[in-house]
Amino acid sequence: MRRRDLLLATAVTLLWIAPARAQQFMLIPMDLSQTNHLKAYGLAYRMLGQGVEVEWLLNYRGGSFLARRGGDAELEARVRNVSFELVGAAQVAEIKAEIDRENMEVVLLEKPPRLAVYSPPNAQPWDDAVTLVLEYAQVPFDKVYDREVLTGKLAEYDWLHLHHEDFTGQYGKFYGSYRFTTWYQHDVEVNEALAVELGYGKVSELKKAVARTIREYVRNGGFLFAMCSATDTIDLSLSAEGVDIVAPEYDHDGQTPGVQDRLNYSNTFAFEKFSLELNAMVYEFSNIDTSNYARLRGAEADYFTLFSFAAKHDPVPTMLTQCHVNVVNGFLGQTTGFRKSLVKESVLILAEVDGSSEVKYLHGNLGRGTFTFYGGHDPEDYQHAVGDPPTRLELHVNSPGYRLILNNILFPAARKKEQKT
Amino acid sequence: MRLATTRLLFAAALAGALWTTPRPAAAQAAAPALTPEQAESLHQGMLMLRNLERQGDRAGAIRQGEALLQEFPNTRRIEDALAQLYRLEHRDDALLDLYRRRTQRDVNDLESFRELASLLLHRERVDDAVEVFHKMIAVNPKDENRYRLAASFLHSRGQAESAIRLYREGRRAIGRETLFAAELAQLEEERNDLPAALSEYVLLSMNPEQRRRATREVAGLIERSEARPRLLARVDELRSRHTKSAPVQDIAAMAYLQVGRYADALAAIRDADRLAGDQGEHLLDFGRTALDAGKSGTVLDSERVQVGVQALALLSERHPKSGLAPEATRLSAEGLVAVAREMEPGETRTRLLKQAVATLEGAGGSMAPRFETEARMLRAMILFEDLGDAAGALPVFESIAAQQREAGESDALVMVQAALCRAALGDFAATRTALEAVVGSSPPDSVADPFQARRKKPRDLGAARARYHLAELDVVEGKFPEASSEFAALAEEAPEDRFANDCLDRALVLNEAMMDDPAALQRYAAMVRARLQRNNAGAQSELEALVQQHRQSALAPIALLELAAALARDGKTELAMQRYDQILADHPKHRFAPRALEARGDLQMERLRRPDLAQASYERILMEYPDDLFLDAVRKKLLAAREAVKGGPHATP
């Protein structure tokens, strides 16, 4: 009798313990059930930093994350209001079986990439969407500028972000409207002083050197993510090796005669055969940008569509396009989108405006590294003007537009898998 | 073809000349107009210069530039290119000559003056740099912007002394005593001459638009300074020297307030008010500052609060017709109440509350009707909620309600308060009648218009509170099913907030308890009765009995929760914590458990000043009760606790 009671008690205890022990994994879904998509990336990044291996389940429930339970991940998830599910080994096996059957893939994220944001030391009267979302998601990053780039500090980072920058040395082409403002004049002063300090006769020459260094950084294996005007201006700068494309209002000397015919497109990342806007009074750099078309559509009708990729064969573009929706609200920027006919054939288009020739999001390889360009300034501020207050991300915790930015910070952490074909 | 190319090149050169950044008129006049051939020649010359530079032959480029300049003297494009080359080649002398020539040629070329000064400073020729700025200023010595440009530039290059001298010269030359006061104050503070900085802030305060800023800066200066005695000595000196200056007395008052010399602060602000001859602005600002700091600091400073109250009382006394008097009265009363509520129950607490009531009474009749109503409402609430004087509060509530009815405004919330006064006096029948009157007089929700129903007007809120208390009366009278239904109905109708949650809890508790020992329900009813009568001791004793004698009852958790809250209100923090812990130990899965944890965390944070313990309590809620309805509020509290912990061991937020 006693033995039977003991066996019964043991069985009951085991049955009671078993369910708790069986939930060995933490699944962070990224579909519409997720309470805070943006902080979920930050949580995944944090777990990587603590040495926890995180699996990115591409196309599974919006690109979910899976990791073993442990540490304070669950507490942090609750503090950050990131929803998660505890699953057991059996459920994980089912999930992986589904992934095998469907257009899905498992990518192992190994260690958190070291992030750098190219940002000038003088305050600008606009905000950088990438730094905003990194801060909101609690992902650490360092700031670098020309001095650090030219002294080789980029080698310390896996990932570099460029935002509303002007690598042509024309101060964002704000001359027409803002040349009498204090911030603009201060910007000119700071950049001219820096150019001299670093041994360059003109700001445009300095910026060319920076652009070249960034290109070498990517060629040597770095990951580059650029938004807004950094996307086209870096290519403009790279194409203008040996010629002067800068209006005299900026550098007090003339542009090279016939400069348009002397551009070298083989130096650029993503664009070719573009035409420059040489007039200092025009707030535009070239015909790459499609802002005018977007403005004609207006905020209510401006969307872009993410392309689908074969997760098993093209994990990289799949990672970059993970989202819980396929159609995303558009947003303007100094460079809003890219004219399709000017995008190099070797570059992969990740998203475009349906029925148009406007590319919103693209990706390419250069040497051992990669670059991703994303048009527009702030995914949750349709038209961010100079002096506008920063976007409050706590009001946009499920923003698809911001998710695309965060896909880029995790993608460098992925272990490269051999191609299946 | 050649002609076309030449024409094209000429057009390009002309366009280049036309698009050059606009320069001051004098500079443009210095360079003569070019013929087309000259423009072409200049353009070619510049191209050659740039090519040489690109090839790395800077010396050649300089020679080319200098030759061009001889051919085309005073041409800015050439000078700019040469300036860059001289910089790269570190040919400072040539650079100096170039900018000297420019400044001699055009006295309005401020940029060149600045460049010249920068070069001289770089060579540590400070006096020469200052001389350059003097020349710039001499062109128009009444232009304050020139002084600002020069001084701020010198300051940015580490020449604070020179900058200060320049500002003072400007002040003398332009003849405005208060000019550049803010800049000079900052500079003096940077070089640690705090008394001088203080003097400048005093000057700044002479400008009525800058008065508040000046007093704020002085308070900040004193707070930051390690040489407080020296600063205060200067304040004393200024005060005794400028006995007829309201700004000086005002600044002195704020400075004394900052360091706790309250008697001196009061005396100084009295003088400031007397000298200012205004409507009492100085007194109001002083009072507000004293009260804000006294209430929000880590250590309660009731003496400081009293100083603030005295200053505000002075405003009402000296400026009875001032538009600021109602605000002063309100601030005084609120300040006293805030301090009193932080205290343990006792004589001092009661005295402060009575002082608040007296302040509000004293202001009656001198205010505009709107302010008078607010003051009376505040007085009635203090009498009832804090002093427990239902008999004193009831007529005040009733008169306010009558006044509101006459004005066609909603009186529901005030009538509810009046009804609660009657309950406190033991007249439950009259209480019921009054509450039913409130409910009966509110319009029904318009079901047809969901937007209308969602908009909560004051009358609706009053009706909801009235129904809540009617349900409590049902409990007192033993009508438990009716009470439960009413609480459930309220929970259904109210938005998802703490009120709805409270109603739901009561409905559920009563439902569950109706299946229990009836004695427990009777005790609960007795507790509600005691609470309505404001008999806190009686309510506590019923709760204690419930907890002891009916541990298994469905009422035990709510009894523990209410007992803990009552103990906390009475200042018995440790006992309250024990009761919260008892809920967690005895009823860990009850819906009150996260509330107990939250309340415990709040006590740890606010009463015990232990953010580390509060953090642990809040984290437990997130981990153990992930489906709790109020996690957003808990998260905010957790983040505040974490910040406080970061501030230092047991740091207070």
* A81, A196, A252: residue with CB nearest B87: A196
* B20, B76, B638: residue with CB nearest A79: B638
For residue B338, pLDDT beyond 90: no
Mean pLDDT, chain B, rounded, equals 84
**How close is the nearest chain B Cα to the Cα of A395, in Å?**
14
For residue B443, pLDDT beyond 90: no
Q: Which of A86, A171, A205, A253 to mutate to test the interface with B (most CBs of B within 10 A)?
A: A253
Mean pLDDT, chain A, rounded, equals 88
Q: Which chain A residue is nearest to residue B20, measuring alpha carbons? A: A249
Q: Note the pLDDT tens digit of each residue in B461-479.
A: 788 899 999 999 999 999 9
Q: Tell me the mean pLDDT in the region A310-328.
A: 94
For residue B452, pLDDT beyond 80: no
Q: Which chain A residue is nearest to residue B632, measuring alpha carbons? A: A81
In whole angstroms, how far apart are CA B207 and each of A79, B142, B202, B396?
Answer: 49, 20, 10, 45
Residue type, A247: A
Looking up tokens 């101060």 gives A171
Distance separating alpha carbons of residues B133 and B529, to the nearest angstrom: 84
pLDDT at A419: 41
Burial annotation A207-234 (CB, 10 A radius, 16+ → b, else e): bbbbbbebbebbeeebbbbbbbbbbbbb
Q: Which two tokens stand for residue B90?
A: 């570190």
A257 touches chain B (CB under 8 A): yes
Q: Which chain B residue is nearest to residue A175, measuring alpha carbons? A: B21
pLDDT at B634: 94
pLDDT at B587: 92
Q: Which chain B residues are Cβ-neighbours of A185 within 8 angstroms?
A: none
Distance separating alpha carbons of residues B621 and A15, to the nearest angstrom: 26
Q: Do B635 and A81 touch (CB under 8 A)?
A: yes
Q: Which of A83, A188, A252, A282 to mutate to test the interface with B (most CBs of B within 10 A)?
A: A252
Which has the higher per-residue pLDDT, B144 or B370? B144
pLDDT at B298: 44
Dihedral angle at the C-alpha atoms of A348, A352, A355, A357, nearest 10 degrees? -70
For residue A7, pLDDT beyond 70: no
Residue B208 DSSP one-character state: G
Distance separating alpha carbons of residues A67 and A55, to the nearest angstrom: 6
Report phi then psi at B69, rounded to 5.
-65, -30
H or E segment at B249?
helix B246-259
* A75, A244, A248: residue with CB nearest B20: A248
Q: Which chain A residues are Cβ-neighbours of B623 within 8 angstroms?
A: 74-75, 78
In whole angstroms, how far apart are CA B254 and each of A298, A392, B195, B231, B335?
Answer: 54, 37, 16, 13, 18
Nearest CA-CA partner of B380 in B345, B415, B351: B415
Distance separating alpha carbons of residues B106 and B102, to the nearest angstrom: 6
pLDDT at B157: 73
What pLDDT band is residue B653 in, cutting at 50, 70 and 90?
A: very low
A74 touches chain B (CB under 8 A): yes
SS3 readout for B183-194 = HHHHHHHHCCCH
Which has the higher per-residue pLDDT, A288 or A411? A288
Q: Are A40 and A30 in contact (CB under 8 A)?
A: yes
Q: Which of A23, A78, A85, A186 to mutate to test the interface with B (most CBs of B within 10 A)?
A: A78
pLDDT at B390: 94
* A199, A252, A254: residue with CB nearest B43: A254
For residue B307, pLDDT beyond 80: yes
For residue B293, pLDDT beyond 80: no
Q: Are A167 and A205 in contact (CB under 8 A)?
A: no
Distance separating alpha carbons of residues A19 and A12, to the nearest angstrom: 12
pLDDT at A123: 63
Q: Do A244 and B50 touch (CB under 8 A)?
A: yes
For residue B552, pLDDT beyond 60: yes
ipTM for the whole complex: 0.71
pLDDT at B10: 42
pLDDT at B37: 85
Q: Tell me the mean pLDDT in the region A335-352.
A: 95
Which has the higher per-residue pLDDT, B652 or A46? A46
The CB density around residue B49, as the number of other CB atoms within 10 Å, is 24
Chains A, B: CB pairs < 8 Å: 56
User: pLDDT exceeding 90 applies to what percent of chain B?
Assistant: 36
Q: What is the three-class DSSP state of B474?
A: helix
Q: Which chain B residues are Cβ-neighbours of A74 within 8 angstroms?
A: 623
Q: Tell me the mean pLDDT in the region B161-170.
A: 91
pTM above 0.90, yes or no: no
Q: Which two tokens stand for residue A177?
A: 């409207």
**How close is the nearest chain B Cα to the Cα of A201, in Å?**
6
Task: Specify the range with the lowest mean pLDDT, choosing from A130-134, A415-419, B138-142.
Answer: A415-419
Q: Are A335 and A231 in contact (CB under 8 A)?
A: yes
For residue A126, pLDDT beyond 90: no
Q: Do B21 and A81 touch (CB under 8 A)?
A: no
Q: Tell me the mean pLDDT in the region B32-43.
A: 82
The CB density around residue A355, as the number of other CB atoms within 10 Å, is 7
Q: CB within 8 A of B519, min separation 6: which ones?
A: B549, B550
Q: Tell me the mean pLDDT in the region A376-401.
A: 88
User: Judging by beta carbons within 10 Å of its beta carbon (0-12, 13-18, 19+), is residue B61 exposed, middle or buried?
Assistant: buried
In whole angstroms, how far apart are CA B503 and each of B481, B490, B495, B618?
Answer: 14, 6, 11, 24
What pLDDT band is residue B570 in, cutting at 50, 70 and 90?
A: confident
pLDDT at B610: 93
Residue B242 DSSP one-character state: -
Q: Note the pLDDT tens digit of each residue in B398-428.
A: 999 888 888 887 788 899 999 999 999 999 9
For residue A144, pLDDT beyond 90: yes
pLDDT at B367: 61
Q: CB within 8 A of A229, min separation 6: which ones?
A: A164, A165, A166, A172, A285, A333, A334, A335
Q: Tell me the mean pLDDT in the region B111-116.
A: 83
* B19, B53, B638: residue with CB nearest A201: B53
Q: Note the pLDDT tens digit of each residue in A24-33.
A: 999 999 999 9
pLDDT at B9: 44
A9 touches chain B (CB under 8 A): no
Q: CB within 8 A of B556, min separation 6: which ones?
A: B546, B547, B550, B586, B587
Q: Are B218 and B289 in contact (CB under 8 A)?
A: no
Q: Tell me the mean pLDDT in the region B563-580.
A: 91
Q: Do A253 and B619 touch (CB under 8 A)?
A: no
Residue type, B349: R
User: Judging by beta carbons within 10 Å of its beta carbon (0-12, 13-18, 19+), is residue B293 exposed, middle or buried?
Assistant: middle
A176 touches chain B (CB under 8 A): no
User: pLDDT exceeding 70 applies to what percent of chain B?
Assistant: 89
Q: CB within 8 A of B375, min separation 6: which ones?
A: B326, B329, B330, B333, B360, B363, B364, B367
pLDDT at B460: 66
Q: Note the pLDDT tens digit of each residue in A169-187.
A: 999 888 877 777 777 877 8
What pLDDT band is residue B649 in, cutting at 50, 70 and 90?
A: low
* B53, B77, B619: residue with CB nearest A252: B77
Nearest CA-CA partner of A26 in A72, A76, A87: A87
For residue B559, pLDDT beyond 80: yes
pLDDT at B459: 43
H or E segment at B112?
helix B110-122
Q: CB within 8 A of A420, min separation 6: which ones?
A: A312, A313
Distance separating alpha carbons of residues B45 and B17, to the nearest angstrom: 14
Q: Note the pLDDT tens digit of each residue in B482-500.
A: 999 999 999 888 766 788 8
What pLDDT band is residue B13 in, cutting at 50, 70 and 90?
A: very low
Q: Note the pLDDT tens digit of each residue in A62-84.
A: 999 999 998 899 999 999 999 99
